[in-house]
Structure 1
Amino acid sequence: MQIELKKEKPWFLISASLAFAALIASAVFALTLRGVKEIDSREIEYSTVLRGDVQLTVDTYGQFAPAVEQVLTAPAQGKVLKIVSRAGIRVEKDTIIMVLENLELEQSLEKSKSDLEKQKANFKSFEFEQQSAMLDRLASIATIEANLERLRLDLSVDSELYQRGVTSKINLKKSELAAKQEQDRLNFENKKLKHFIEMQKFELQQREIALSQAEKSVKRLQDKISGMSITAGMSGAIQEINAALGETVSMGQSVAKVGSNEDLIAQLKVPSYEADKITPGGRVTISANGQTVDGEISRIENKVVNGHILVEATLNNKAEGKFRPSQSLTGKIIFTTQKDQLYVEQIPGVQPNTAAFVYVFDGTNTLQRKQVHFGERSSGNIVVLGGVNESAKLAVVDLSQYSEFETLKITE
């Protein structure tokens, strides 16, 4: 009887074959990643790693704004009769922006003018009355003085006659009494005159005060009506017009805003995550319209809006006349200086404080892919913390399409 033994499958051979295939695939993948790719030299730009003092900066953007702004308000309730100037127009101090109308105010002015004229007429009449009363009192005193002089003459005659024995003593006494009574009368009239002058002065002051108040009332209403023609109040440009033609505005309501046109500040938007690097008094370089000026940070807002904080900077005198309000700008805020530091020109796609793979020229017409550690940005450059040495040449163009190759061969 023949017995057939069943052969078992060589599983160890199958496993070995699979492992060998995986090894081959890995090798092929590795060779592919580390393969060589040819690249035209005209596609490449280099930057050399340098060493020196580096000013670290925060890149920002924003716009110019007036350093001085003035809100114009309605001096009284009124209807917008005319809008003479529009937003954006350059103005001088006396430029009329809009005209308001208030009929009740004009009626009040006419009544005040009428009251003032009455006050003036009454004041003039009072002056004439007082002058007349003064003349009457002076005339009365003059009469008394004349009588007193006559009585003194009579007393002198009677005294001489009495000494001669021609007249009696009683007649002499009568003459003395008459002269004394007239003197007392004169003294009393002089006191009355002095009191009258004081009373006249006091009443005159009261009437002058009333007249002055009436004049001020007219002047105040005239100023209000004159103020209904609202002027810019300063040289600059109109920032806003806040009232429409025909609209009724209340007293004190804002109708326009004017800002300086030459004296400007820079309003910068800084990412909130870099806010801790910014301090008042810090230096900033402002660029716009192909021109650059220096500035100094004057104010930092704590409020975060859309991931940014607002920073304001004053500009040096060289900025006068070069820029205009609302003009866009870019800026670099200098927050510190690092001594004896490696740096290179900013490479596309490389972020600050990260590690990135870049291509480094090895001096033999090839570029090697290396990992480089970068620090803060610095005015178009970026700090190099490690991965390459001083004088290394890095490609500063976007070569991300070749990232699967470890080596790029440069061809002419």
Structure 2
Amino acid sequence: MKIELAQQKPWKKIAAISLFIALIGYATFAVSSKASKTVDIANLSFQTVSNGPLDIYSGAYGEFASARERLLTAPALGKVAEILVRPGTKVTPGTIILHLTNPKLEQEVSQAQGQLAQQQAQLEAFKYEQQSERLNYQGRIADIEAEIEKAQLELSVNENLMNLGVSSKIELQRAKLAVKQETKRLKFEKQKYQQFIEMQGYQLTQRDITIVQQASQVALLEKQLADMQVKAGITGSLQTLEVELGQSVQLGESLAKVGSDKELIARLRLPQHQADQIDINAPVIIDTQKGKIAAHITRIESVVSNGSVLAEAVIDGELTSNARPSLAISAQVFVMHNDKATFINQAPGLRPRSKQALFVRTSSNLLEQRSVTFGELSQNKLVVTEGLTEGEEIVSSDTSKYNQFSQLSLNN
């Protein structure tokens, strides 16, 4: 059997080869078009990478709080009879916030004052009685002294008569005995008088102590009664009011809270990853939208809440006009000083603590896409940790539409 092979037509082969070449050319053009593109340099913004000393600050947010706060409590049982000030009102130490009433307390004050007056009157009467007793003692002593003088006179007469041989010896002895007896009576009476004076002193001291105690009781009750007019106690503003008109309150129950307006502290929430690098007394720059205020860290808590750590800062500089308790603020907290930091100015789209693709200008007037790692943002300076060196220029304008290109040619 004779087998004949069909001969392939040459035009089909040529067409297949041409199609293959065309596909290769298109693929080459597509790849080259993604690898490079020409852009107008006038439409781009550049900035140069710097290297040098840089203070690293951590961003924080928070609010002002009163440095001085005073909790107002009920001085005694009572009922809220009048409310004179509402929260948010400016107050001074003598401003009356509310008035409490307690008729029983008023009666106790009156009774205590009456008892004090009675004890003071009894003390004065006792002093007059004791003065009369002292006079009686002094009178008896004077009588005895007169008897002694009389006995001494008789003794002297008898001695003279004895010398003349007129008086008898027994009369002389009787005169001597009289002088001796009256002298002993005088000594005894003076001892009794001295003991009476000492006893009177103790009695007066005891009565004075009783009066002082009663006076203290009166002062305490009077203060409780006066405190029923609840005063602010400090200069600032009324922050909270926890009672209503007509409400009965117990001794020590919380009524209101007053906080200072001019004496403020800043309560800041520090990022958890930087809180352990911040020291006590670290400088702080607070921004209130109406100016910046200097401060320093005084306390850092150890508890982490929602990725942040609470800290307190004391104000060092002058407050801005809008500073008040609970005002939301932002702050920059000093972390450390870096002598050789690589950094650029912050620009839209550049994010701290991230890795991003940026276009870097080369010596051959091309833009080369490069992966750059950023660190912390400190006072509008973005730290570069990897991918850039000092003196290089990066495109700081938006180039997101060119991200598919690895290179860009610059058209001057």
Range class of TM-score, shorter chain: 0.7 to 0.9
Structure 2: distance between partners of 1:98 and 1:365:
77
The 8 Å contact of residues 41 and 410 in structure 2, kept in 1 or not, is answered as yes
User: Secondary structure of 2:312's partner?
Assistant: strand
Task: Count residues in correspondence.
Answer: 403
User: Secondary structure of 1:277's partner?
Assistant: coil
Note the C-alpha offset of 1:232.
Answer: 2.6
- Paired letter, 2:279: T
Structure 2: distance between partners of 1:384 and 1:372:
7
The 8 Å contact of residues 271 and 309 in structure 2, kept in 1 or not, is answered as yes
The 8 Å contact of residues 158 and 172 in structure 1, kept in 2 or not, is answered as yes
Note the C-alpha offset of 1:194.
Answer: 1.2
The 8 Å contact of residues 360 and 367 in structure 2, kept in 1 or not, is answered as yes
Note the C-alpha offset of 1:218.
Answer: 0.8
1:241-252 matches, cutoff 5 A: 241-252=241-252
Instruction: Out of 157-166 and 121-130, give the one that drifted further.
Output: 157-166
Deviations 1:9-39 (A, max 9, x none): xxxxxxx999999978966764564464867
> Structure 1: 5+ residue runs without aligned partners?
7-15
Alpha-carbon spacing, 1:64–1:162, altered in 2? closer, same or farther (3 Å): same
Structure 2: distance between partners of 1:202 and 1:176:
40
1:62-211 matches, cutoff 5 A: 62-211=62-211
Alpha-carbon spacing, 1:188–1:359, altered in 2? closer, same or farther (3 Å): same
Structure 1: distance between partners of 2:19 and 2:274:
54
Alpha-carbon spacing, 1:121–1:17, altered in 2? closer, same or farther (3 Å): farther
Structure 2: distance between partners of 1:262 and 1:255:
23
2:281 is matched with 281
Q: TM-score, normalised by structure 2?
A: 0.84
- Paired letter, 1:289: Q
User: Secondary structure of 2:176's partner?
Assistant: helix
Deviations 1:314-343 (A, max 9, x none): 232344767322222211222123233331
Deviations 1:97-124 (A, max 9, x none): 2333233222211111111111012111
Note the C-alpha offset of 1:54.
Answer: 2.4
- Residue 316 (str. 1) matches residue 316 (str. 2): yes
Note the C-alpha offset of 1:66.
Answer: 2.3
Structure 2: distance between partners of 1:330 and 1:85:
32
Structure 2: distance between partners of 1:404 and 1:109:
89
Deviations 1:276-330 (A, max 9, x none): 3322232222212231233222211112222221122223234476732222221
Alpha-carbon spacing, 1:180–1:384, altered in 2? closer, same or farther (3 Å): closer
1:258 is matched with 258
Structure 2: distance between partners of 1:327 and 1:129:
71
Q: CA RMSD in A?
A: 3.5
The 8 Å contact of residues 262 and 320 in structure 1, kept in 2 or not, is answered as no
Alpha-carbon spacing, 1:106–1:150, altered in 2? closer, same or farther (3 Å): same
Alpha-carbon spacing, 1:411–1:239, altered in 2? closer, same or farther (3 Å): farther
The 8 Å contact of residues 37 and 405 in structure 1, kept in 2 or not, is answered as no
1:217 is matched with 217
Note the C-alpha offset of 1:410.
Answer: 7.7
The 8 Å contact of residues 263 and 320 in structure 1, kept in 2 or not, is answered as no
- Paired letter, 1:99: H
Alpha-carbon spacing, 1:55–1:173, altered in 2? closer, same or farther (3 Å): closer
Alpha-carbon spacing, 1:39–1:102, altered in 2? closer, same or farther (3 Å): farther
Structure 2: distance between partners of 1:127 and 1:214:
19
Structure 2: distance between partners of 1:79 and 1:117:
30
The 8 Å contact of residues 295 and 317 in structure 2, kept in 1 or not, is answered as no
The 8 Å contact of residues 161 and 167 in structure 1, kept in 2 or not, is answered as yes
2:11 is matched with none
Alpha-carbon spacing, 1:352–1:78, altered in 2? closer, same or farther (3 Å): same
2:9 is matched with none
1:335 is matched with 335
The 8 Å contact of residues 99 and 230 in structure 1, kept in 2 or not, is answered as yes
Note the C-alpha offset of 1:388.
Answer: 4.1
Note the C-alpha offset of 1:203.
Answer: 0.9
The 8 Å contact of residues 290 and 320 in structure 2, kept in 1 or not, is answered as no
Alpha-carbon spacing, 1:166–1:56, altered in 2? closer, same or farther (3 Å): closer
